[in-house]
Amino acid sequence: MQFERRDAPFISPTSDVGSIMRHVLYALIPAALAYVWFFGPGFVLNLIIAGIFSVLGEATMLHLRGKPVDSTLADYSALVTAVLLAFAMPALTPWWVTATAALFGIVFAKHLYGGLGYNLFNPAMAGYVMALVAFPMHMNLWTAPRMGDIDYQLLTFAETAQFTFTGTFPDYLSFDAISRATPLDVVKAGLNNMQTFDELRAYPIMGDFGGRGWEWIGNFIAIGGFWLLLKKIIRWQIPLGVLAGILIPSGLMYFLVPGVNPSPGFHLFTGGTILCAFFIATDPVSAATSNKGRLFYGFGIGFLIYAIREWGSYADGVAFAVLLMNMAVPAIDYVTRPRIVGHVKTQNGDGG
Amino acid sequence: MSTPAATYDLGKLYGGLRLPAEKTVSTSLEIQRIPVPDQLVLPLAQHAGEPAHPVVGIGEYVLKGQLLAEPYGSLSAPVHASSSGKVVAIESWPVSRRFGENAPCIVIECDGDDTPVAPSKDMAPYNSLPPNALLKRILQGGIVGLGGAVFPTGQKLMQATTMPLEYLILNGVECEPYISCDDMLMREQAAEVLGGAQILMHALALDACYVVVESDKPDAIMAIGEALAELGDERIVLKQVPTIYPSGGEDQLVQLVTNREVPSGGLPTDVGCVVQNVGTSAAIYRWICEGEPLISRVTTVTGPGVRSPMNVMARIGTTIADVVSFAGGYNEEAEQLIIGGPMCGKSVTTDRVPLVKATNCVLVLTEKPVYGNEQPCIRCGECALVCPIQLLPQQLYWYACADNESKLRTYGLTDCIECGCCDLVCPSHIPLTSDFRNAKARFQELADEKARAERARLRFESRNERIANEQQQRERELDEQKAAAKKAGPSAIDEILNRRKNKQQNKDDE
């Protein structure tokens, strides 16, 4: 009898890229629902716009590069980029800003580097930073979070859609009544104005630890993150690194110089910290690849987030921190190679 | 009755995988003896080194156990006839080897009588022999490592005696899925296995031996435990290890049992250990105590493509076709024939290949291999988590694609044991092990090419030197002639000139 020839091993792998990315998408569902609950339907619109343009950009680039379109779209990586971008964008963002960010992320940060697996930078963060730098005026329109004790105004889907697509509100809505500074902005401005952190904590937009609403979204993101850890889609090194990188310096500053520094809890539960720890920094393509390297990589991101919030001019620093550490990845990978079994120490010699 | 002597005092093993065992399908029956086949095909190279040299001719009648080919070179082992019959051919035949598809084989047409050679006279008890003589005797039995590496056991032991040794380790781990031949051997022939251990300890002047068995073989553990109790040899200790692939790799086993790492490029003897497969141990016992050379072995015939999976005692040289048909034959879904296990085995295109000393498993799979769905590496690092050598397969893959030789060396390509763990966890379905195997082959080619170029250079240089020497020689002779002519005076010079002129004329006339 004749048989076909093949190389060992003869057992098929059990996971695939598509299922990993799908798990990431599922894990973000609770947080997405919380986001809509607290900040209104803007998130849904951002998600739809980012999704359409990401997938369109991906398909076009694949076609231009002569790669299979259908099978590659099935890896869901473009959708993950779109979802992360939607989480990062303010709830009220003109459609063309979101679209440009999505296209920039997919076309420039991903495909011009060779597509999935070859991109040096996290596409979602590259797109976000591009929008933040190019269109700063359109990137800070946050609505007030849903809460009981101040006059928040939750927008309807129609009102949000009108703003997203035309840039204007219906006449009966005033811009000032809707938009709010984010807790990070408030704290940054307040501390610069010699207010103490405890005074700022009393503001109605503040919650128990971080910003109201934000901290709940953070909790739901963390639930998804823990689920991914359980499913072994992500490993613990990067989340731990990020959280340690932000909690250690902020904790030290909070306890050593009290009053003028936000608490570690505030850092943790405000802005994009938890999303970054579990979903953004853990993008394997642009992250360090050895276990030890991932701890360093995560810690670097966490510390840079803290540094930018504390000393930088932007209120939050997640995107910048991620991109900066993306650049450091090749070096981190090189210096954190594990010792090969049977060798006394890590092999040296750069060679080529 | 509780499981005896369960020892979990273990060293650190990195990575590895818990694989579906798939072993029980082949362990419900006792080991079945395959009757003498019509034809036996015995490759001359069933061991790591050079092929053995035949000592029988075509048409010659041979007896069971008779020497057919004697070792040639330092890593070679003899080949014996597995049954009696007539040598009908010594020719190229399809075989399952790491490299190459065909190899010279001795083909015997069996007469079915199975007449053995007269038993050897020097059947002195092993412990009356000095270790050196015992080692020589083991060498003559055609015994090679039955775990798959087929390094001639005699040479392996001789090398070992040059090192300071502490432990003999009998490998009964058998960590690959589907394979159960060592399990069954330990269940049914535990006494032989331990007898072999005693012989080995005597030959190596050792007094400590671990018999290491994976925890998923409770019956084997029980059998070894009982045999051990009966034997009452306190030097031998049964050690149970958790079921993790690839803990049965030689270096991994040493690491697990002694917590010592075999140095890169080294051998277990570098850390005082000699590892032998339990099957090899039993084969040594049969050769030394019963005079039967290595002419048969236990092999697992299994997989979803075989009708009645089982373990068989088959003569070396039985074709795989005969082995499979003994196990009920292929079923309709049979797609792929593999010699060895599903992780490290080798697929063959035809079942005409013979069962050899290394064949621990004949696996028939039904799943059609899926080609061409390889996706780009997303650097998830799962491969690095399971690598037992702590390599970074994702980085190695990158450098293998770029054919970057020096980076591949820095990242330890040559340390890769090709266990296949990284392939199994890769979400991008990249055939990493296969890529690494190819990269290693390119290394070898490169080295060969270098050696060839070096040889050519030496040849060229020596040719130039030779030409220069000849030139000098000629000039010296000419000078001598001139000097001689001068000495002889003008008449001699005239004579020479005349001779030359005549010669010239003769040439012109022609």
pLDDT in tens, chain B (510 residues): 334 444 456 778 888 999 988 898 899 899 999 999 999 999 988 887 788 899 999 999 999 999 999 988 888 889 999 999 999 999 988 888 755 578 889 999 999 888 888 876 667 788 888 888 888 888 888 898 887 777 889 888 988 988 899 999 999 999 999 999 999 999 999 999 999 999 999 999 999 999 999 999 999 999 999 999 999 888 999 999 999 989 989 999 999 999 899 999 899 999 999 999 999 999 999 999 888 899 999 999 999 999 999 999 999 999 999 999 999 999 998 989 999 999 989 889 889 999 999 899 999 998 765 555 788 999 999 999 999 999 999 999 999 998 888 899 989 999 999 999 999 999 999 999 999 999 998 888 888 888 889 889 999 999 999 999 999 999 999 998 888 877 777 777 787 788 888 888 887 776
Residue of B17, B375, B414 best to disrupt the A interface, most CBs of A under 10 A: B375
Band of pLDDT at residue A206, cut at 50, 70 and 90: confident
| Chain A residue numbers touching B342 (CB-CB < 8 A) | 8-11
By Cβ distance, the residue of A71, A116, A340 closest to B390 is A340
Is B410 in contact with A1 (Cβ distance < 8 A)?
no
Q: Hey, what amino acid is at B100? A: G
Residues 6+ apart with CB under 8 A from A289: A329, A333, B379, B381, B384, B392, B394, B395
Residue type, B83: S
Q: Does B437 touch chain A (CB under 8 A)?
A: yes
Element (H, E) at A45: helix A42-64
The alpha carbon of residue A121 and the mean position of all alpha carbons in its chain are separated, in whole angstroms, by 13
Among the listed residues B218, B268, B372, B352, the one whose alpha carbon sits nearest the alpha carbon of residue B11: B268
Every domain of chain A and the residues it spans: 16-180, 183-331
Interface pTM, i.e. ipTM: 0.87
- Decide if B77 contacts B71 (C-beta within 8 A): yes
- The pLDDT tens digits for A9-43 are 888 888 889 999 999 999 999 999 999 988 888 99
pTM: 0.84
Spatial neighbors of A306 by CB under 8 A, at least 6 apart, are A245, A246, A249, A250, A267, A317
Instruction: Locate all alpha helices (DSSP H) within B387-489, ordered by sequence.
Output: 393-402, 405-410, 421-425, 432-488
Q: For B389, which of A71, A291, A340 is closest by C-beta distance?
A: A340
Contact flag B345-A291 (C-beta cutoff 8 Å):
no
Cα distance from A180 to chain B (closest Cα, Å)? 39
Q: Which of A181, A187, A219 is nearest to A202 (CA)?
A: A187
> What number of other Cβ atoms are within 10 A of residue B236's Cβ?
22
Q: How many CA atoms lie within 13 A of B398 on its CB side?
A: 16
Non-local CB neighbours of A196 within 8 Å, separated by 6+ positions: A259, A260
Distance CA A92, CA A141 (A): 5
Interface contact flag, A8 B434, Cβ < 8 Å: yes
CATH number, domain B24-315: 3.40.50.11540
Residue of A nearest to B15 (CA): A341
Strand partners of residue B53 = B70
In the beta sheet, which residues pair with residue B67?
B80
The helix (run of H) or strand (run of E) holding residue B159 is helix B153-161
Nearest to B478 by CA among B467, B468, B470, B466: B470
Amino acid occupying residue B390 = Q
CA torsion A48→A53→A59→A61, rounded to 10°? -160
Residue B375 DSSP class: -
A286 to chain B: closest CA residue: B379
Q: Mark yes or no for CB contact B344/A17 under 8 Å.
A: no
Do A49 and A96 form a contact (C-beta atoms < 8 A)?
Answer: no
Nearest to B251 by CA among B449, B500, B13, B464: B13
- Edge-first strand order for the sheet with B296-302 is B32-33, B310-315, B296-302, B361-365, B336-339, B346-348
Closest Cα to residue A53, out of A32, A28, A82, A76? Answer: A82
pLDDT for residue B1: 37
Q: In what order do the strands lie in the sheet with B236-241?
A: B236-241, B209-214, B167-172, B273-277
Best residue of B399, B410, B422 to probe chain A, by most A CBs closer than 10 Å? B410
- What residue of A is the nearest CA neighbor of B342? A10
CB-based contact, B344 to chain A, within 8 Å? yes
Q: Hey, how many other C-beta atoms are within 10 angstroms of the C-beta on A191?
A: 18
pLDDT at residue number A351: 38
Pairs across A and B, CB distance < 8 A? 184
Q: Do the beta carbons of residue A276 and residue A318 sit within 8 Å?
A: yes
Contact A219, A213 (CB under 8 A): no
What is the spatial distance between Cα B101 and Cα B89, in angstroms, rounded to a whole number? 18
Given this model, what pLDDT does residue B211 score?
Answer: 95
Residues in contact with B90: Cβ distance below 8 Å, sequence separation at least 6, in sequence order: B54, B58, B104, B105, B106, B107
Chain A residues lying within 8 Å of B394, measured CB to CB: 289
Cβ neighbours, 10 Å, residue B33: 12
Query: Tokens 């399971």 belong to which residue?
Result: B386
Nearest to B305 by CA among B338, B271, B343: B338
Q: What pLDDT, on the 0 to 100 scale, is given for residue B283?
A: 94
Q: Which residues in chain B touch residue A291, judged by CB atoms under 8 angstroms apart? A: 381, 384-385
d(CA B310, CA B325): 12
Q: At residue A178, does pLDDT exceed 80?
A: no
- E strands of B260-411, at which residues? 273-277, 296-302, 310-315, 336-339, 346-348, 361-365
B401 to chain A, any CB pair closer than 8 A? The answer is no
- Yes or no: say if B443 and B406 are a contact pair by the CB < 8 Å rule: no
**Residue A220: count of CB within 10 angstroms of its CB:** 20
CA torsion angle B147 B150 B154 B157 (round to 10): -60
* Touching A: B residues 271-330, CB under 8 Å: 321, 330
CB nearest to B376's CB, from A13, A115, A337: A115
Q: Would you say B194 and B231 are in contact if contact means Cβ atoms under 8 Å apart?
A: yes
Facing B347 at nearest CB: one of A5, A285, A352: A5
Which pLDDT score is estimated for B282? 95
> Which pLDDT band holds residue A204 (cuts at 50, 70, 90)?
confident
Q: Are B346 and B338 in contact (CB under 8 A)?
A: yes
Are B369 and A11 a contacting pair at CB < 8 A?
no
Q: Which residues of A226-249 are buried (b: 16+ CB within 10 A; e: fewer)?
A: ebbbeeebbbebbbbbbbbbbbeb
For A253-290, write each residue's pLDDT tens digit: 999 988 888 889 889 988 889 999 999 999 999 999 98
Neighbours of B152 (CB within 10 A): 25
Q: In a 3-state reduction of DSSP, which class is residue B90?
A: strand
- Other residues' Cβ atoms within 10 Å of the Cβ of residue B198: 22
Query: Rg for chain A (alpha carbons), in Å?
Result: 22
Is beta strand B346-348 parallel, antiparallel or unpaired with respect to B53-54?
Answer: unpaired
**Helical pair B181-188 and B190-204, crossing angle rounded to 10 deg:** 90
With contacts defined as CB-CB under 8 Å, which chain B residues touch A2? 349-350
Q: Which pair of tokens denotes residue B317?
A: 């040289």
Within an 8 Å CB–CB cutoff, is residue B346 touching chain A?
yes
Contacts of A16 in chain B (CB under 8 A): 375, 427-429
Q: What is the SS3 assignment for A259? A: coil
Inter-chain contact B406–A351, Cβ cutoff 8 Å? yes
| SS3 call for A268 | helix
Chain A neighbours among B 91-150 (CB < 8 Å)?
none
Give yes or no for a contact between B146 and B358, defined as CB atoms under 8 angstroms apart: yes
A225's tokens: 């993150």
Q: Decide: A206 and A183 in contact? Cβ < 8 Å.
A: yes
Contact B376 A19 (CB under 8 A): no
Q: Quick check: B265 and A16 CB within 8 A?
A: no
Rounded CA-CA distance B247/B147 in Å is 13
Disruptive mutation site among B19, B273, B379 for chain A (greatest number of A CBs within 10 Å)? B379
Between chains, do A343 and B406 touch, taking CB under 8 Å as contact? Answer: no
In angstroms, what separates the C-alpha of B143 from chain A's closest C-alpha? 27
pLDDT of residue A198: 81
Contact B349, B90 (CB under 8 A): no
Residue A268 tokens read as: 């943790």
Question: What is the average pLDDT across A84-94?
Answer: 92
